[in-house]
A and B are shown apart, each in its own frame.
Chain A
Amino acid sequence: MAVELTLGAAILVALVLYALSGGADYGGGMWDLLALGPRAQRQREAIEHAIGPIWEANHVWLILVIVVLFTGFPTAFAVIMTALHIPMTAILVGIVLRGSAFVFRRYDVRDDAVHRRWSTLFGAASFFTPFLLGLCLGALASGEIRVAGGRVSSGFLAGWTGPFAVACGLFAQGLFAFLAATYLTVDTEREPDLQEDFRKRALASGLFLAPVAALTFLLARDGAPYIFARLTSWWAPLLLAVTSVCAVGALAALWARRFHWARMAAVGQVTCILVGWGLAQYPHVVVPDLTLTNTATVPSTLDALRSALAVGAVVLFPAFGYLLYVFKRRQSLPPKRGASV
């Protein structure tokens, strides 16, 4: 069990890091589409500036999730990709359009109608892709995807079409929007008016999140009974408490304009939510039929994969640290974007 557990944990960690980095990039796209007011153009520039150097690296966390899943747990991968064929295909369309629209917009000559169309496409794809990601995670927890004799027996609509999955989709959207706005308050430190814009957006999306979270929780009673039952475990109240402290703390810090604290609390909040989902679902990959154990491949591959992840982490984390050091250290933030944009 030990190796499966390690690899399952690695998938969860990669998913958390994807939410914290790639998720915020989606949120940035949402705020790009919703850019309003006299500073709309500068908001867009700040978002582009924050996302530009890092979004492709952030995106790789998702690829890592997929790769570790199909290497370590090929049966689970086959079932997930079969049962969720439709939303997964839509996610791909979203990923392709979003990434392409972002670079086209960035490198194509500006100030014309074409450019605005890229913005719209980038923003729209940033909205619907995380919704679908949430939908898919909700479907895995729902218990409605059933497997008989190693084959999906519940068809192609099970799990992701119910109200619980839809609530998860909305929750993911809200969470990413909140995360992005909170990060952006720190990124725009040198521009107080922009910072104030993003502060308001962070507060608004944070408040929007509360009823959506409550709704998701209530819908889980019928929509995901297995994990709902697990929320009575000893760790559940503890995690719920930490999550709430983080959520309230983030809002309070935003209110008090303690933006670094707000960012930290938001990171804690998202991490707790995903870890909570992972714990509630454990040891299942797809509730209720597929677990880490019954979908794992042979031990030799699991061991090799664990070693590869260990070596990879040694290479990756310093590289990632350097990337963030180059682009996110405080003194490197430009006071204002040049007139050339």
Chain B
Amino acid sequence: MTDFFFARSQMALSLAFHIVFAAIGIGMPLLMAIAEGLYLRRGEAIYLDLAKRWARGTAILFAVGAVSGTVLSFELGLLWPRFMEYAGGIIGMPFSLEGFAFFTEAIFLGIYLYGWDRTPPLMHWISGIIVAGSGMLSGVFVVTVNAWMNAPTGFEVTDGRVTSIDPIAAMLNPASLQQVIHMTLAAYVATGFIVAAVHAFFLLRDRRNVFHRRAFGIALAVAAVGIPFQIVSGDMIARMVAERQPAKFAAMEGHYRTQRGAPLTIGGLPDDAAMTTRYALRIPRGLSLLAHGDPTAPVRGLEDIPRDEWPNTRIVHWAFDLMVGAGFAMLGLAAWGAWLWWRRGLPDDPRFLRALVVAGPLGLIAIEAGWFVTEVGRQPWIIYGVMRTADAVTPMSGLVVPFVTFTAVYVFLSVILVYVLRRQFLETHPNAPGRSGAAPGASRGG
């Protein structure tokens, strides 16, 4: 295995680790702001309690997100210096704006987490809203950078050197809008599902618990409202990819032969040598319809693309199907929940709660799978059609060492996090004996 392989693996590992915390860091502040807003409006102390308890978990996850994000900003240069040398001036703009958004988020998160007794209630709530807004914005800015790697625009090259840059055009590239909407919704939906699952777990033990009922209601509402829009946004982004990145699109769909009235290929085993996806479920004309809104439209297959510009078809196809499958499973659950809610109020049917506990991680799984689709699907390019990933890698050798180090650190942190968060949940369970689970700062304020 080469240094290049380890560089890619380290980057993939770092992104896969960070994205969980980034997504929850975008989603949780919204949930907390809703809970605290309901408290201010209705004066029910349980909502305040809820915001404080959620804040404890968020504080841990946010810190891990902040440091793992720092790792990524360094790794761009540590692993891909040629890429940064070429693209730094083009994509630095959204990164700088992200820096400020993140700054704002960190400042107001400090105020939010530690300032329960030090700020007037309204100001505290506004701080929470600022955290939610700036967290969302920093996600938006970072995603525009990734979108630029898929749809590089806003610069001119003469003799292999970037000679003219329009940083705003680079930021607002043709892939930005679709990717930004898709990732932002993903963060809310995934957070909503995972949080709803945690509270569903406690509701299964005690369905009368008002605290968990309120928490479950807010999280489920965010998830259920978000997921239908997310399916629509998925369709938007897929059409964009079909138009702009035919190789990625063909790999996503396991589609080898260019044809009119192309079928939709679900599952199966993509076989590059035989140029077909074996054992797959095929829906006639489905792909043409989805990609171009016309059941007879031609869809380019991988055969039209030079062999050395193919991404890894199995990873991309399977990751895509996993993401879509998870998305529709969540949509089904949301529909079931909405139906129950409409009929009888908060859906606390044990079968539904159990299903939700099992489905809790689906949003995060879909996010991971989605990033595998977009990142692996862009290969062999780091900047689509402009620079190959292999040409961007650092000349440093022995990259197995940092890869193993970061793997060890992240595995260690993941294990600890699960352990710490589990203790948090049990410890702050309202019926649990012992500490009353006061929010940070609340028990020791001035």
Central interface residue in A82, A331, A332, by most chain B CB within 10 Å: A82
Whether the Cβ atoms of B85 and A309 lie closer than 8 Å is: no
| In the bound complex, CA of A77 to CA of B79 (Å) | 12
Known: A70-B77, A78-B85, A152-B395. A103 touches B60 (CB 8 A): yes
Contact (A53, B97) CB under 8 Å given A300-B167, A327-B110: no
Check B446–A74 contact: CB distance below 8 A. no
B440 CB contact (under 8 Å) in A74, A100, A106: A106
**Separation of A340 and B205 alpha carbons in the complex (Å):** 29
Pick out which of these stretches binds chain A: B100-108, B190-198, B294-302, B381-389. Answer: B100-108
Taking CB atoms and an 8 Å cut-off, the chain B residues in 84-124 that contact chain A are 84-90, 92-93, 95-100, 102-104, 106-111, 113-115, 118-119
Contact indicator B86/A308 (Cβ below 8 Å): no
Q: In the complex, A63 Cα to B97 Cα: how many Å?
A: 12
B99 and A300: CB pair below 8 A? no
B284 at the interface (CB under 8 A from A): no
Q: Of residues 69 to 106 in A, which have CB atoms within 8 Å of B's CB atoms? A: 70-75, 77-82, 85, 88-89, 91-93, 95-100, 102-104, 106
Q: Are B74 and A92 in contact (CB under 8 A)?
A: yes
Q: Are the CB atoms of A60 and B102 closer together than 8 Å? A: yes
CA distance A89 to B95 in the complex (A): 21
Distance in angstroms between the alpha carbons of A79 and B85 in the assembled complex: 9
Query: Which residues in chain B, 381-429, are within 8 Å of chain A measured between CB atoms?
Result: 394-396, 402, 405-406, 409, 413, 416, 420, 423-424, 427
Q: In the complex, are the beta carbons of B78 and A88 less than 8 A apart? A: yes
A327 to B108, CA, bound (A): 12
Report the separation of the CA atoms of residues A91 and B67 in the bound assembly, to the nearest whole angstrom: 11
Closest to A296 in B: B89
**Chain A: which residue is nearest B118 at the CB level?**
A326
Q: Does chain A have a CB within 8 A of B35?
A: no
Taking CB atoms and an 8 Å cut-off, the chain A residues in 21-74 that contact chain B are: 49, 52-54, 56-57, 59-60, 62-64, 66-68, 70-74
Across the interface, do A308 and B115 meet the contact criterion of CB distance under 8 Å? Answer: no
Docked Cα-Cα span, A1 to B88, in Å, equals 19
Tally of contact residues, A, Cβ under 8 A: 76
In the complex, the answer to whether A74 meets B63 with C-beta atoms within 8 Å is no
Interface pair B73/A85, CB less than 8 Å apart: no
Distance in angstroms from B436 CB to nearest chain A CB is 9
Selected interface stretch from A202-210, A244-252, A312-320: A312-320
Instruction: Identify 5 residue pairs between A and B in the complex whose beta-carbon atoms are under 8 Å apart, listed by A's number.
Output: A59-B70, A67-B95, A77-B77, A85-B396, A297-B162
Closest 5 CB pairs of A and B: A71-B92, A74-B88, A297-B89, A81-B77, A78-B81
Beyond A67-B73, A74-B87, A297-B88, list 20 extra A-B contacts (CB 8 Å).
Answer: A49-B444, A53-B111, A57-B110, A59-B66, A64-B103, A68-B99, A70-B95, A81-B394, A96-B68, A100-B413, A106-B440, A152-B395, A301-B90, A301-B92, A312-B97, A319-B104, A323-B110, A326-B111, A326-B115, A327-B118
